[in-house]
Amino acid sequence: MEIITTPIKDLLIVKPKIFTDDRGFFFETYNENRYKELGISQNFVQDNQSKSSYGVIRGLHFQHNPYCQSKLVSVTIGKVWDVAVDLRANSATYGQWFGVELTEENHLQFLIPRGFAHGFSVLSKTAVFSYKCDNFYNPAADGGILFNDPDLNIDWKIPTDKMILSEKDTKHPLLKDVTLNF
């Protein structure tokens, strides 16, 4: 397993070791001991999965303290553009975002620490997206930032006329208008 750093501190890409032969492939999607050896010590307590079609954008979501969550995300079917935005008040990269393409072929995982907003867009016909969380979901702690906030200027890699969003995700405030407690 390999850890790939990003320009944003603590935001990591995990590249698992894949074993392949003429039958297919095998890899560990998570092994607590191996992750701890690499400095990833989150105690994951909840697993989630979603299925979406091309053009769906989910995000940008986060949970307010004390319910904020770290997430270890991956794609089991299809391809997504996964984005994390640094919301940590004392971070040198506050308000900056980083994206990575996660696919069923590359098997990459994206570790998004607490204090980040998260979202993704589906680039394939369908995608099954999995994520481990280190805190339980609490609906009262839900927070969000508008996916097309002009100050963030995120390229979702989907033409505007093909974007599919929930009503909720079209009504989040801009980052400059969000009250944060990270």
Query: Which residues does the annotation mark as catalytic?
Result: 61, 131
Strands 126-133 vs 46-53: parallel, antiparallel or unpaired? antiparallel
Structure tokens at 119: 């979202």
The single residue listed with the structure tokens 């097309």 is: 148
The single residue listed with the structure tokens 């092994």 is: 31
Question: In 10 A of CB 159, how many CB atoms?
Answer: 8
Query: Where are the strands (E) in the chain, listed by range?
Result: 2-5, 12-15, 19-21, 24-26, 46-53, 57-63, 71-77, 79-86, 97-103, 109-112, 116-122, 126-133, 142-144
